[in-house]
Structure 1
Amino acid sequence: MAMQGMGYGGYGEYEGYGDERRHRVPAALRTPFEGRSWREFVYVLLSLPIAVVFFTYTVTMMSVGAGLLITFLGVPLMAAALAGCRGFGALERARARGLLGMEIADPAPLRPRKRGLMGWVGAVLKDGASWRHALYSLLQLPWSVFTFGVALTVWWTGLTMLTYPLWFWVFPMYAGQDGIQLYGDGRHGIYLDNPFEITVTALIGMLVTMTAPWIVRALTMVDRLLVHGLLGPSRLASRVVELESDRGVVVDTAAADLRRIERDLHDGAQARLVNLAMGLGLAKEKLLEDPDAAAEMVSEAHGEVKMALQELRDLARGIHPAVLTDRGLDAALSSVASRCTVPVEVDVDLLERPAPAIEGIAYFTVSELLQNISKHSRATMASVDVWRVDNRLMLQVVDNGVGGADVSGGSGLAGLAGRLDAVDGILVVDSPAGGPTRVTAELPWRAERI
């Protein structure tokens, strides 16, 4: 899931396509001279010989292995064929990264359940990625033959016609004819030999040359789909990796919350209760000999009890506020907004309540965003909007502060973004320098089960 952290600590420069220089030459004219176009053309040219080798290897090894399945040699030979396909797949991914600029991950490595040769053979034969690599080798050859012919034809035709005025002299001097022959029946022929026809030929060649990169690019889109779909990790494997990462984030977040609760108890309520016990002990000793001093100590202890109770209430509210459980997001967010240092307008438009876990994440998301506004934004007003779109719970917090949120800087919101990502949520930050700052969070809607 795409997500961004946010911090007000500094003004970060935006890095991306927005800061590219504007080209004075139109894209249609400069595309034939761009490195990307020639890299794609080289990719298509290399695809055919590689596909021939890949296809030949796969068909030969798989055929021999299938023919020897009646013997013991067939099974390891089939595994060796699939392992070789994985090796060719690694070459193809590297070629796609270098020439097509694709960002594609490697498939999951083999994980044999048993040690030794048979464990490895079993892992290869059961691995879906290995069979997808073999399928890629079978599909790549016919497609590479087609793309090789089309790409080479359009580029060769375009450049040949474009440069026709430069080599037109070859025909009358060495070929014994007036120029390129368009038609001939043995008695008469039509040749491109006068200045007008030569100029038109060059203009048509220029159009074909300008079109050729786009044709090749369209062809390589199919190559991208094949590489991504057959040579990359499967959706299930990617989802497993994502869930494992999310599980680690959840565990780390829970551990951090436990450490925070322990620290708050140790430094807050526990310390006050220790002082209270000591104060009551001293008051007990002075009760008979100095009742007035004892009464003053008891009064101070009473104040300490009130402070300890307040700190325990705040700590309980930080774990899970009772108002959220009893009255829902509207009342809970209004309560947390009332403690913000700037006026906050809260608008919650929900006809039903989401699951308690989603409701809790939404509450703490808004709570931490409002804390950031209080501490760093220098805003004079803010707003919180909550609504539902299909199966998603949407949150948006806006302030009129200084903006300039640095998405690359570390902040407490990095953990917040991790929490959202752990439940398939998204955090998006829009904070130009000078403000306003608009933070939008999106969570899955999971209705509360009654």
Structure 2
Amino acid sequence: MSTAGITVPGAEPRVPVSRPSFWRAPFSARVWGETMHLTLNLFVGILGFIHVVVFVALGIGLTPLFLMGLPLIGATVMACRGWGTLERGRAKALMGEVVGKPAPFRQKTPGFTGWVKSSLADGSGWRAALYLVLMLPWGIFTFAMAVATWAVTLAMITYPLTQPLYREADMPGALLRGDGPHAPGDDVYLAGFGTVTLVFAVGVVLLFLTPQIIRGLAWVDRTMVRGLLGPAFLSRQVEELKVSRGAAVDTAASDMRRIERDLHDGAQARLVSLAMDLGLAKEKMNSDPDAAQRMVVEAHNEVKLALRELRDLARGIHPAVLTDRGLDAALSAVAAKCTVPVTVTVDLPRRPSAPVEQVAYYTVSELLTNVSKHSGATSATVRVWVENDRLTLEVADDGHGGADPAHGTGLAGLVERVRSVDGTLAVDSPKGRGTRVKVTLP
């Protein structure tokens, strides 16, 4: 795989849009797709503006007379949802912008009257209507900018080829100022080797600057699509809370099952064996004191082993070194147990909260375990720092790569653990070039 990105929480993570380099931008399909999108904005704006304004105005006008205006407005709002679907598809096809669907329409009360009330109160439909209204002035501007900038750029670049054509019209070159060859006055033409060369050079400069203008305009388009045609902020927050709550419950249940299994198979079995040995020693206390003494000594050793297992279990629940000395010492202890050399760098101005610190510890522990078992790496690095008021940790190795969160329970479990504290996790693991996992926590 090339890059696998996961952002949690959230039902539909946003896919990052690849950006061509400055020098490759004029020849990239992405820039020309954005140009096409900006050009089509005019036609979408005209049709969408007419749809919204005409039918909403007609509905308002009909409401006092025939009471048919409100269903017409409701139908217009519902049709705007369809426009939103088309515009999300256009943004995906031409700009590579993947935007999640808004919340589905829900009719709160049954019947035709209930449908009218629900459609009139549909926030997603009204936001799509606002998008169509705004698209008219914005579409006029983007159409003019996209067409004008590329037309001027291409005209200046090809001017050395087109300049001889002006001679057929009795003109030495393109008319820069004046009234033309058949009118009196001081006319200024773009002619001469130096002038033509200068025009060509300016055209080359514009060839690389125009894609940057297109990118800026396309960024506004992307913002409008995400803000007005995607999920509403509150519904997105509710969905994120549902996902986070489910992840927290699943993580807690998994930890409880692990603790129960460790107690049942380890300390509990050892304590049952210890009780049986002490019972036999008690029976032999009078008849065979030497055998009873040996059995007590063995029971004493069993107690030590049981205590060690309980300490290990408690350390697995919450490591003592993490509580006592913080994340730096705890991660260094984990790195020392890894089968490959690990460099640990921790730069934190203060200790994070206990839940976040614990999630960071277990995340690094699991990732280093994966490095030991599956990566085939010869070295690894662990970095922890604060970025934009969020705890950021990165684990990288030089192994064979190819890690995919969609296949395998290890990374999927980490996603759930990170999601439980409203964090994000991204995996970059191209085959043959190692794996890099970046996690951000609040």
Counterpart residue number, 1:149: 144
* Alpha-carbon distance change, 274 to 230 in structure 1, aligned in 2, over 3 angstroms: same
Counterpart residue number, 2:184: 187
* Alpha-carbon distance change, 73 to 237 in structure 1, aligned in 2, over 3 angstroms: same
Q: How many Å separate the matches in 2 of 1:304 and 1:187? A: 114
* Alpha-carbon distance change, 117 to 293 in structure 1, aligned in 2, over 3 angstroms: farther
Of residues 40, 43, 64, the one that matches 1:49 is 43
* TM-score (norm. length: structure 1): 0.72
| Superposition pairs of residues 2-81 of structure 1, within 5 angstroms | 27=23, 31-70=25-64, 72-81=67-76
Is the 1:336–1:367 contact (alpha carbons within 8 Å) kept by the matching residues of 2? no
Equivalent AA in structure 1 for residue 97 of structure 2 = M
* Alpha-carbon distance change, 239 to 288 in structure 1, aligned in 2, over 3 angstroms: same
* Alpha-carbon distance change, 216 to 373 in structure 1, aligned in 2, over 3 angstroms: closer
Shift of 1:243: 2.7
Counterpart check, 1:423 vs 2:421: yes
Equivalent AA in structure 1 for residue 93 of structure 2 = G
Q: How many residue pairs align between the two structures? A: 422
Counterpart residue number, 1:311: 309
| Structure 2 residue runs without a partner (length 5+) | 9-16
* Alpha-carbon distance change, 288 to 82 in structure 1, aligned in 2, over 3 angstroms: same
* Alpha-carbon distance change, 119 to 255 in structure 1, aligned in 2, over 3 angstroms: farther
Equivalent AA in structure 1 for residue 46 of structure 2 = V
Of residues 100, 108, 131, the one that matches 1:105 is 100
Shift of 1:106: 1.9
* Higher RCO structure, 1 or 2 (CA under 8 Å, sep 6+): 1
Equivalent AA in structure 2 for residue 228 of structure 1 = R
Matched residue of 2:99: which SS?
coil
Deviations 1:317-374 (A, max 9, x none): 322356766x463798399569847999999888976544334435545655676788
Of 194-203 and 425-434, more deviation after overlay is shown by: 425-434
| Structure 1 residue runs without a partner (length 5+) | 6-15, 445-450
Q: How many Å separate the matches in 1 of 2:42 and 2:335? A: 68
Counterpart residue number, 1:8: none
Equivalent AA in structure 1 for residue 92 of structure 2 = R
Q: How many Å separate the matches in 1 of 2:192 and 2:429? A: 60
Equivalent AA in structure 2 for residue 218 of structure 1 = G
* Alpha-carbon distance change, 170 to 302 in structure 1, aligned in 2, over 3 angstroms: closer
Of residues 301, 312, 315, the one that matches 2:299 is 301
Is the 1:159–1:205 contact (alpha carbons within 8 Å) kept by the matching residues of 2? no
Q: How many Å separate the matches in 1 of 2:398 and 2:28? A: 41
Is the 2:48–2:132 contact (alpha carbons within 8 Å) kept by the matching residues of 1? yes
Q: How many Å separate the matches in 1 of 2:160 and 2:210? A: 20
Counterpart check, 1:96 vs 2:94: no
Counterpart residue number, 2:200: 203
* TM-score (norm. length: structure 2): 0.73
Equivalent AA in structure 2 for residue 142 of structure 1 = P
Is the 2:45–2:134 contact (alpha carbons within 8 Å) kept by the matching residues of 1? no
Matched residue of 1:184: which SS?
coil
Is the 2:402–2:430 contact (alpha carbons within 8 Å) kept by the matching residues of 1? no
Counterpart check, 1:261 vs 2:256: no
Q: How many Å separate the matches in 2 of 1:383 and 1:193? A: 61
Is the 2:103–2:231 contact (alpha carbons within 8 Å) kept by the matching residues of 1? yes
| Superposition pairs of residues 384-403 of structure 1, within 5 angstroms | 392=390
Identical amino acids, percent of aligned pairs = 47
Of 64-73 and 342-351, more deviation after overlay is shown by: 342-351
